[in-house]
Structure 1
Amino acid sequence: MNRKTLVLPAVVGLLAPALAACGGSDGGSDGGGSIVVGTTDRFIASKDAPAPLDPAYAYDVGTWNVLRQTVQTLMVQPRGEGAPVPEAAESCGFTDNGNERYACKLRSDLKFSNGDAITAADVKFSIDRALAIKADSGVFALLSTVDTVEVKGDKEVIFHLKTADATFPYKLSTPVAGIVNPDNYEKNKLRDGFEVDGSGPYVLEGEEKDGELVRAVFTRNPNYKGALKVQNNEVDMVSYEDAEAMGAALEGGDIDVMTRSMTPEQIEKLAVADGDVDLVEMPGLEIRYLAFNTEAPTVKTKAVRQAMAQLLNRDELVSAVYGSQADPLYSLVPASITGHSNAFFNKYGDPSVAKAKGLLEEADVDTPVKLTLHYTTDHYGSATKKEFEELRRQLNGSGLFQVAIEGAPWDTFVPAERNGEYDVFGMGWFPDFPDPDSYIAPFLDKDNFLKSPYANNEIRESLIPESRGEADRLAAADSLNRIQDIVAEDVPLLPLWQGKQYVAARDDVTGVSYALNSSATLQLWELGRGVSG
């Protein structure tokens, strides 16, 4: 087994140059049998979340990766990173100097997979629908700068924005901006279940069992017109209960490709073994963090949160659980993104029990502080439990905390978190797009997806709008640094680490190096069949 490391340019948000074309091939073909891809992502329709695949609701990496194959957006992130390029659109761009008017012209003969023609009115319907439904997942907030959507004829759509937003082209590349057919999606109601209708490169046919999508069959959409070059006729994505079951399926020949989430042990083993399976390492922008319900009695006092930040030893955490597969993170914005600062290291320096004790004493907080850390048992992989055991060890080892940990499956974890049942909980984040705004606004702006009670007026009213007004993201550095400094001071969230990405695949599968982009977007259209070896 061979380890192949793809080296891509550093991710620098909107500064990265756009490529001349999207898609492309690195040796695949559009023939051959179905390519079978394994994942540990679970797709469950429940009472609390009956519409997991509706673009107006979906807001996690797994469901977005289904929608990106099937629902087309006006813009798309190009192969090899860079600024977004037109996808369903023929052209898009700001038409004013203030980045407040954005116009797109649709491609000719654009159709939904059922053959219905797509018009500018369908684009307007889709955007207006997401904003009107205002789903509790919070995904609608990505479109929060939209004031009105204007249509001119069948081909032109004009977005009038409330404020300048240089990141808007990126937002039009996310599934919440996906174009849906008004015949299949009600204006003011989510579409329950696992049916998806769009104009993307594939048509979805799902296999459902007990309210869970266990197999998703993506068949090439004959009516697709866009920027992506599809390298296969069909991809089957199979959902496994855990990484061990997925790994056994790869070894047994039941799947061709293994994606997220593999265990650290699996990655280490695949990296040194020989055989007909290759491990590909790719840059990643995934982060992990602790989130606080800042109104909860146990952590309402800022000094408690600051003491946890002062005690956290990220180096030991990463070493004990993830090894070389992750790096310590000292801000919400990862190190490879323009605008990153080591705000938490600048504020707290090296871990110190004495400094943490001083913070608690100054605030008259009795010790040990008793609290529970909550985590999801199945969404980020089995290593999450070990990670929280290490966090518990560090905090309890200080003598200042008495911490318990408690895990729950994703389908019960998310509703509980949104209902404010957890005081402290662990989450991961895969960016909506590779820009610092995607690590700030979803957590700190109004209508944030965590439904956090934490609200800082300077961040919301001044700093976020200021940063979005700068098309040159380097020029936004002062605003972005100030935001990160405030987060380090108030600690509504506590960043832990940022990770790399891995895909394992049989060596007759081509395009694997492009199967994931830095935002963890699964690009199944890149996979093809080639010559083994």
Structure 2
Amino acid sequence: MNRKTLVLSAVVGLLAPVLAGCGGSDGGSGGGDAIVVGTTDPFVATKEAPAPVDPAYTYDTNTWNLLKQTIQTLLYIPRGGGEPLPDAASQCGFTDTGSESYRCTLRSGLTFSNGDPITAEDVKYSIERVSNINDPNGAVGLLANIDKIETSGNEVIFHLKTADATFPYKLSTPIAGIIDPKVYAPKKLLDGFTIEGSGPYTFKAEVKDGKMMKAVYTKNPKYKGALKLQNSKVEIRYFPTAEDMAAALEKGDIDVMNRSMTPEQIQNMQAKPEEHVNLTEIPGQEIRYLAFNTNAPVVKDKAVRQAIASVVNRGDLIKKVYGPMADPLYSVIPSGITGHTNSFFNEYGDGNKTEAAKFLSEANIPTPVKITLNYTTDHYGAATKKEFETLRDQLNSSGLFDVDLKGEPWATFLPKKNEGKFPIFGLGWFPDFPDPDNYIAPFLDKDNILSSPYANKRAIDTLIPESRREADRSAASNTFAELQNIVSSDVPMLPLWQGKQYIAARDDIFGVEWALDSGANLHLWELGRGTAGS
């Protein structure tokens, strides 16, 4: 069988009712061998970050994908997208017309993988623990609208401070995962790589010198929920380079590879098909951007940020670095998400050096402006270095900037970002859930993920709460358009590109098209070995 590229359209969710019945029976994988998945994303426990897999600590795609396999949530996003459905819960819903009170009933007989029973009080404990710890690295902001949590028997009632139609989506994320109070202390992070949950898999890590070398996911016989497993065991193996990972796939040492293949690998796999490996393209909602510490002297004046926004040429960047793997992004809300506009293109164009010079001249800022672009060397793939070299060259060639680059590992990059040590830095964003709110509130609301002092009163006090009152999300499009215009006007961040996603797999693996959704959420339970039945 020659390798082919399978392209899933943005309407893949419409196929879910047709394909949902396909695949083996629960737990079947065509054999007892583990399905082996390769990745270049490292997991490291350090002195600065000793608890990399605690739900209260982490807020990155790599770790959330680990937790999604092991920590159960009340709700989950179904195959192909759509509104959240019950998982640990048997039913959930708003109990008022104002979207301010939300009630969930737990499934009966739920237990953690160690056999401890799960109660409504455990759910309350798990979510309140995140708020009590309030770690700056975590996603506590997603829970900030909870006023109080009550329990009654097997029911959990969430009382919200303000209306929030997106709240069910937030309960489907790992920050709202249910953890065992006997294992996780109320106000202290759990160091190391221990995970105790009630999700579809149990977890065991092989660690050397604080670095995870292999992660083993074994079917959890105590799991009670909506997910159907197509395998009994999955291993994640970590590779130092994308080239090492690809060699392992070619030899058959691994069955699947995803993050992070290089643009060159994707192009070669498309141009020169080989036997026994399929490449699947999946629509992506990943974005990349530059962020600014608006209190840092070098970028405190908005004119500097506007000049950078004018000079950057996204088409040139993508052509030189990412090719078919990315599209230009001119707004914080990507194409394909309700309410998207091209606010940055409308404001600045692309590669407009004349406009950039005008911003600096009118603000009486001498040129060239000396700046440093900070990026992480091991978190977003091997092409990141070339991306920042291209951005440097664009800015320097304008004659308006004198740019240095500084790259460092994620384990040290993230704490420094959170401490506000970088005036300008590069980050990626994978949505927690497919709603425009999740591309706005994390960057503009209180306690934003950028650790930025930037605050727009109208956005925080009026527009974000206003958008959340709309149960029909398309009805909030005008509000989101204004929010995008605020971002393009003030430039607390600069969107660069929107990515596509690819998975390569040996041709005896099925379920690959469902194993990664548009938000880069990994669903290991969808992978099976052999021929999918129907």
Report TM bin, short chain: over 0.9
CA contact (8 A) 2:14 2:80 kept: no
Deviations 1:36-66 (A, max 9, x none): 0001111111111111111111110111011
- Residue 349 of structure 1: how far off its partner (Å): 2.2
Measure, in 2, the Cα distance between the counterparts of 1:20 and 1:277: 27
CA contact (8 A) 2:288 2:428 kept: yes
- Residue 21 of structure 1: how far off its partner (Å): 11
1:522 counterpart residue number: 522
1:225 counterpart residue number: 224
1:325 counterpart residue number: 325
TM-score under structure 1 normalisation?
0.96
Measure, in 1, the Cα distance between the counterparts of 2:155 and 2:326: 44
Change (3 A) 1:465 1:177: same
Alignment of 1:97-176 (within 5 A): 97-153=97-153, 155-176=154-175
- Residue 166 of structure 1: how far off its partner (Å): 0.5
1:371 counterpart residue number: 371
Measure, in 2, the Cα distance between the counterparts of 1:24 and 1:400: 59
CA contact (8 A) 1:25 1:231 kept: no
Deviations 1:215-265 (A, max 9, x none): 100000000011100000000001112212211221222111001110001
Amino acid in the other structure paired with 1:408: E
* Greater displacement, 239-248 / 82-91: 239-248
Amino acid in the other structure paired with 1:371: I
Indicate yes or no: 2:202 matched with 1:203.
yes
1:7 counterpart residue number: 8
- Residue 17 of structure 1: how far off its partner (Å): 8.7
Alignment of 1:89-488 (within 5 A): 89-153=89-153, 155-272=154-271, 273-488=273-488
The runs of at least 4 aligned residues of structure 1 exceeding 6 Å deviation read 16-23
- Residue 519 of structure 1: how far off its partner (Å): 1.1
Amino acid in the other structure paired with 1:220: K
CA contact (8 A) 2:343 2:488 kept: yes
- Residue 405 of structure 1: how far off its partner (Å): 1.1
Amino acid in the other structure paired with 2:213: V
Amino acid in the other structure paired with 1:4: T
Measure, in 2, the Cα distance between the counterparts of 1:167 and 1:22: 27
Structure 1: tracts of 5 or more residues without a match: none
Amino acid in the other structure paired with 1:486: I
Change (3 A) 1:387 1:52: same
CA contact (8 A) 1:23 1:227 kept: no
CA contact (8 A) 2:103 2:158 kept: yes
CA contact (8 A) 2:10 2:283 kept: no
Change (3 A) 1:67 1:329: same
* Greater displacement, 192-201 / 269-278: 269-278
- Residue 479 of structure 1: how far off its partner (Å): 1.3
RMSD over aligned Cα atoms: 1.7
- Residue 26 of structure 1: how far off its partner (Å): 3.5
CA contact (8 A) 2:24 2:230 kept: no
- Residue 22 of structure 1: how far off its partner (Å): 11
- Residue 318 of structure 1: how far off its partner (Å): 0.7
2:47 counterpart residue number: 47
Amino acid in the other structure paired with 1:223: K
- Percent identity between the two aligned chains: 60
Deviations 1:378-406 (A, max 9, x none): 10011001111110111111111111111
* Greater displacement, 141-150 / 343-352: 343-352
Secondary structure of 1:285 counterpart = coil
Measure, in 1, the Cα distance between the counterparts of 2:392 and 2:94: 49
Deviations 1:415-454 (A, max 9, x none): 1111111111110111111111111111111111221111
Measure, in 2, the Cα distance between the counterparts of 1:7 and 1:252: 27
Deviations 1:246-288 (A, max 9, x none): 1122122211100111000111111231210110000111000
Secondary structure of 2:345 counterpart = helix
Measure, in 1, the Cα distance between the counterparts of 2:414 and 2:406: 14
Secondary structure of 2:136 counterpart = coil
- Residue 531 of structure 1: how far off its partner (Å): 3.8
* Greater displacement, 71-80 / 246-255: 246-255
Measure, in 1, the Cα distance between the counterparts of 2:208 and 2:517: 30
2:491 counterpart residue number: 491
Amino acid in the other structure paired with 1:238: R
CA contact (8 A) 1:89 1:107 kept: yes
- Residue 18 of structure 1: how far off its partner (Å): 12
- Residue 304 of structure 1: how far off its partner (Å): 0.5
TM-score under structure 2 normalisation?
0.96
Secondary structure of 1:116 counterpart = coil
Deviations 1:350-369 (A, max 9, x none): 43211111110000000000
CA contact (8 A) 1:122 1:179 kept: yes
- Residue 193 of structure 1: how far off its partner (Å): 0.5
Amino acid in the other structure paired with 1:354: T
CA contact (8 A) 1:92 1:104 kept: yes
Amino acid in the other structure paired with 1:252: K
Q: When the two structures are aligned, how many residues end up with a matched partner?
A: 527
Amino acid in the other structure paired with 1:115: G
Secondary structure of 1:320 counterpart = helix
Deviations 1:106-139 (A, max 9, x none): 1111111112211111100101111111011141
Measure, in 1, the Cα distance between the counterparts of 2:407 and 2:243: 19
